[in-house]
A and B are shown apart, each in its own frame.
Chain A
Amino acid sequence: MRSSVAITALAAALAWAGSAAAQNKNVKIGALSDQSSLYADIGGPGSTLAAQMAVEDSGMTGKGWKIDVVSADHQNKPDVGTSIARQWFDVDKVDVIVDVPNSGVALAVNNVIKEKNKVFLNSGAGTSDLTNKACTPNTIHWTYDTYALANGTGTALTKSGGDTWFFLTADYAFGAALERDTTNAVTKANGKVLGTVRHPLNSPDFSSFLLQAQNSKAKVIGLANAGGDTTNAVKQAAEFGITQSGQTLAALLLFITDVHALGLNASQGLTFTETFYWDMNDGTRAFSKKFASKMTSGAMPTMVQAGVYSAELHYLKALDALGSNPDDGAKVVAKMKEMPVDDSIFGKGNIRQDGRNIHPAYLFQVKKPGESKGPWDYYITKATIPADQAFRPLSESECPLVKK
């Protein structure tokens, strides 16, 4: 008698545990970013805010889901990034990592995520390797990549007469990838690369490099760097009269916070590629104004922060469709690829086999001071690059997940 009671109790306990596993509606989101250094305005605390806004706007808590957002600072160091990721997965039970600017850190974290079978929604890193050689069934690259930037800016400028290039390249994975992809776009459009300088990350002074670029007599000086490096280079290029002497300055990766920091006097006329601008349509304006009202600095979202929001919304939709958290990263990512993407920010799109999210990209130019109506009114849309042309075609893919 006693044993049968024990067996019944055990069975009940097992059934309960089983149903609990099936009904696992807990999700933990880790926003991993540069919180305190040169990319902190591009991602950083703004990305954490975007992650929290996505949770609120998904309406999932009303359906019985319990979603937490945690954040950490990877300090632009791959070893710090991977140890935070391991701690999050092993101890804190994080399911998904979002953002991760800095390509060096992103590539390192990419490996950990695959090993632990979690989900990686990258918005901040540029390297197109994330969906090429380094692609995994667990990673989705949402917002932009070096291929899209190079293709947008490189092709457009070369075709409009800027057929000789000189690069100032940040000396790490992202800079190298951006330079390589732009070089390909330039040569494809019958342009020529005359030379390149690799500068260390976080350089306060660009005058020496700018002088070398000036002496090369190239028509276009391509800045294959980001954040504070780009703003310092643009500001000092104005000082050295680079554009007055007839050379064009192409910032290959520029964010709205950079333009804001530079001011329109120093940044007017810069041409570059982005996939998001706050003042594009009602959807982007509504999100952006809500976002800005919650930021201490009142800053509008960068495309990276908008990408964190949009990617996470799609992730949560996929989880909702699955009914519960399967604790299997590859399964959730497969579901995300299966569902068409439709949000108010990046519009309609889809996620390819290689993990690349496909949507249009835009060639923007910075307004002249007289044309701007006030703070954050900075861009003119010069061209729209349709979704099917904005990113690397699958036919050129080296990603093992792509079936040819």
Chain B
Amino acid sequence: MIPLLGISTQALFGQLLLGLINGAFYALLSLGLAVIFGMLNIINFAHGALYMVGAFCAYFLLNLIGLNYWFALIISPLVVGFLGMVIERTMLQRLAGLDHLYGLLLTFGLALIIQGVFQNYFGSSGLPYAIPRELSGGTNLGFMFLPNYRGWVIIFSLIVCLATWFVIEKTRLGANLRAATENPTLVRAFGINVPRMVTLTYGFGVALAALAGVLAAPINQVRPLMGADFIIVVFAVVVIGGMGSILGSIVTGFLLGLVEGLTKVFYPEASNTVIFVVMAIVLLVRPAGLFGRTA
């Protein structure tokens, strides 16, 4: 056990691992934002609220219908994704071609309404959601006690992130999608239904948020404001990674989880602000973000 800067390397490993787990959430949420921004040019401020709806959906499935966590992992993203598609079709589509600001204001307003409604009915302290029995307990890794559930979170979100990256960057579907962003008129001329593709993409991005919400439900309280606490940080992650960069948001999500984890050890008071410090520095040095391309 070699002490490093006042704490043992063992303790440091533990903290780094916890940082990575938080990073998994950042990555999953910022990935959804990056997909939506990269493909649709919408700054989706309702992302945090929809993440919260995903968690509530898991709660309702368990307590009203009796469907457990594993079902929630599939059903909740589908339900919230569908809700997202309705939002896109009925509202966001009307703002296509306008300045980013309009989309931002609309989604911000939606977030406030959704959170307000949930708060009115469920209060601010939230509802309990237990860890699924298969994943309860923990493993002693030697340097720390790792709850099995946290191990599951990191592996599962890594798989989801990489699969998303693969689909968008390496498949024909992804190629069509990217082409449609560059030049929708031309892609339409090839017989591809661009508006439908846009709706589905928004639905997918939102489903990712709901998935993160279900993953978070057993760790955090299922609270109406659980997304509001997260969303600002996640936006910072997207900005640091480079707006719209898929790989950028994944890598930055995990990296910033680590940075935050280290801050929690050495100067815990700053753990909520450190990400914004990083953001300020990155914007000064590389205004397009770490993985962004300058236009």
* B119 pairs with A36, CB closer than 8 A: yes
Interface code B103-114, partner A: CB below 8 Å = 1, 0 otherwise? Answer: 000000000000
> Of the candidates A215, A241, A260, A265, which one forms a contact with B147 in the assembled complex, judged by CB atoms under 8 Å apart?
A241
> Of the candidates B18, B120, B124, B126, which one forms a contact with A207 in the assembled complex, judged by CB atoms under 8 Å apart?
B18
A228-B125, A235-B221, A240-B138 known; A215 vs B11 contact (CB < 8 Å):
yes
> Of the candidates B130, B147, B272, B273, which one forms a contact with A203 in the assembled complex, judged by CB atoms under 8 Å apart?
B272
> Of the candidates A171, A211, A262, A263, which one forms a contact with B15 in the assembled complex, judged by CB atoms under 8 Å apart?
A211
State which size class the interface on A falls in.
35 or more
B216 CB → nearest A CB, Å: 8
State whether the Cβ of B123 lies closer than 8 Å to any Cβ in chain A.
Answer: yes
B16 and chain A: residue at smallest CB distance: A208
- Point out the residues of chain A lying under 8 angstroms from B19, CB to CB: 208
B225 CB → nearest A CB, Å: 6
> Of the candidates B127, B149, B229, which one forms a contact with A204 in the assembled complex, judged by CB atoms under 8 Å apart?
B229
State whether the Cβ of A399 lies closer than 8 Å to any Cβ in chain B.
Answer: no
Q: Roughly how many angstroms separate A39 CA and B261 CA in the complex, as a whole number?
A: 26
A242 and chain B: residue at smallest CB distance: B145
* B125 pairs with A231, CB closer than 8 A: yes
A46 CB → nearest B CB, Å: 9
Q: Roughly how many angstroms separate A299 CA and B124 CA in the complex, as a whole number?
A: 12
Number of A-B pairs, beta carbon distance below 8 Å:
122
A202-B229, A207-B18 known; A38 vs B124 contact (CB < 8 Å):
yes
State whether the Cβ of B237 lies closer than 8 Å to any Cβ in chain A.
Answer: no
A201 and chain B: residue at smallest CB distance: B272
- Point out the residues of chain A lying under 8 angstroms from B226, CB to CB: 204
A residues 198-213 touching B (CB-CB < 8 Å): 198-200, 202-205, 207-209, 211-212
State whether the Cβ of A402 lies closer than 8 Å to any Cβ in chain B.
Answer: no
- Point out the residues of chain A lying under 8 angstroms from B21, CB to CB: 207
* B126 pairs with A231, CB closer than 8 A: yes
Which stretch of B37-45, B173-181, B194-202, B262-270 is in the interface? Answer: B262-270
* A231 pairs with B11, CB closer than 8 A: no
State whether the Cβ of B155 lies closer than 8 Å to any Cβ in chain A.
Answer: no
* B123 pairs with A265, CB closer than 8 A: no
A259 and chain B: residue at smallest CB distance: B125
- Point out the residues of chain B lying under 8 angstroms from A257, CB to CB: 123, 125
Interface code A323-359, partner B: CB below 8 Å = 1, 0 otherwise? Answer: 0000000000000000000000000000000000000
A39 and chain B: residue at smallest CB distance: B124
B49 CB → nearest A CB, Å: 14
Interface code A26-39, partner B: CB below 8 Å = 1, 0 otherwise? Answer: 00000000001111
* A214 pairs with B225, CB closer than 8 A: no
A208-B265, A212-B265 known; A263 vs B123 contact (CB < 8 Å):
no
State whether the Cβ of A160 lies closer than 8 Å to any Cβ in chain B.
Answer: no
Q: Roughly how many angstroms separate A205 CA and B275 CA in the complex, as a whole number?
A: 15
A208 and chain B: residue at smallest CB distance: B264
- Point out the residues of chain A lying under 8 angstroms from B150, CB to CB: 207, 239
- Point out the residues of chain B lying under 8 angstroms from A258, CB to CB: 125
> Of the candidates B22, B145, B221, B264, which one forms a contact with A232 in the assembled complex, judged by CB atoms under 8 Å apart?
B221
State whether the Cβ of A187 lies closer than 8 Å to any Cβ in chain B.
Answer: no
* B124 pairs with A36, CB closer than 8 A: yes
Q: Roughly how many angstroms separate A227 CA and B123 CA in the complex, as a whole number?
A: 12
> Of the candidates A200, A212, A297, which one forms a contact with B272 in the assembled complex, judged by CB atoms under 8 Å apart?
A200
State whether the Cβ of B82 lies closer than 8 Å to any Cβ in chain A.
Answer: no
Besides the known contacts A204-B230, A227-B125, 18 further A-B residue pairs in the complex with CB atoms under 8 A apart: A38-B124, A197-B268, A200-B273, A202-B272, A205-B220, A227-B124, A228-B125, A228-B221, A235-B128, A236-B219, A239-B150, A257-B123, A257-B125, A260-B125, A261-B223, A262-B221, A263-B130, A266-B128
Q: List 10 A-B contacts (CB under 8 A).
A: A37-B225, A40-B124, A41-B124, A41-B125, A200-B271, A202-B229, A204-B230, A211-B11, A241-B145, A265-B128
- A-B residue pairs, 10 tightest by C-beta: A263-B128, A261-B125, A200-B272, A208-B264, A40-B124, A41-B125, A41-B123, A239-B147, A207-B18, A41-B124
Q: Which residues of A contact B (CB under 8 A)?
A: 36-41, 44, 171, 197-200, 202-205, 207-209, 211-212, 214-215, 227-228, 231-232, 235-236, 239-241, 245, 257-258, 260-263, 265-266, 296-297, 299
